[in-house]
Amino acid sequence: MTMRWLALDERSACQMTQRYTARNRLLKREDQSLPNIKQYFVECPGRDAKYQAVVELYSGLTIASCVIFTHTRRSASWLAERMIEKGHLVGVLHGEMSVEERASSIEQFKEGIFKVLITTNVCARGIDVSQVTIVINYDPPLLYENPSEPDYDTYLHRIGRTGRFGKAGIAINFVDSREALAIIKKIEAFFGKPIPKLDPSDLEHGV
């Protein structure tokens, strides 16, 4: 019994050390990834308001490309289908697509065939597209084991899709509830970077 508890204690200590080390690495990356990215939040009370905000921002995009992150595949598909129905050129990327389908979506996005890519966290890491100037967190990134807490690492990777190679970038967070606002405030406090409120009407002018 004693040995079992020792093993559990060692495992817990190891996990705590890994989290502490990961957080330190995260803070070091923050110095490199956040200074050239302006962050905002927009109040969007409900799914229709969030959709309308995306449409207004889309109309304000001229040359820039945009990545929109949703929390679920269902949200990504719903948003993409609705925008396509309205005649907007957008791409979608999620975990249930085949490797070939994902590669095709990314390649078309890089080539500028569509300027908006709607995706889940499958795209939060490893994509370097220099023309991406705007990232939208349609849903805030949450910890799977504790959905009431923000996933800081994923947030950093998400907004890091813009501001690549030293260029300026913009990250916009949609807030549809008090809980979502609390998440954004925690992210703001964690990184020590202001995330001011943006009026939805400003989206028509591309921010």
Residue-wise pLDDT for 84-129, tens only, equals 998 888 999 888 888 899 889 889 998 989 889 999 887 666 567 7
Residues with Cβ within 8 Å of 72's Cβ and at least 6 positions away in sequence, in order, are 120, 139
What average pLDDT is seen over the chain?
Answer: 80
Query: 160 pLDDT band (50/70/90 cuts)?
Result: confident
- What integer is the mean pLDDT of 138-143? 95
Query: 171 pLDDT band (50/70/90 cuts)?
Result: very high
Note the pLDDT of residue 58.
79
Domain 37-205 sits in which CATH superfamily? Answer: P-loop containing nucleotide triphosphate hydrolases (3.40.50.300)
Distances (CA, A) of 86 to 24, 49, 82, 102: 45, 16, 7, 23
Note the pLDDT of residue 130.
77
Q: What percent of the chain has pLDDT over 90?
A: 43
Distances (CA, A) of 39 to 154, 167, 170: 15, 14, 6
Note the pLDDT of residue 125.
67
pTM reported for the whole predicted model: 0.81
- What integer is the mean pLDDT of 144-150? 92
Note the pLDDT of residue 10.
36
Does the pLDDT of residue 76 top 90, yes or no? yes
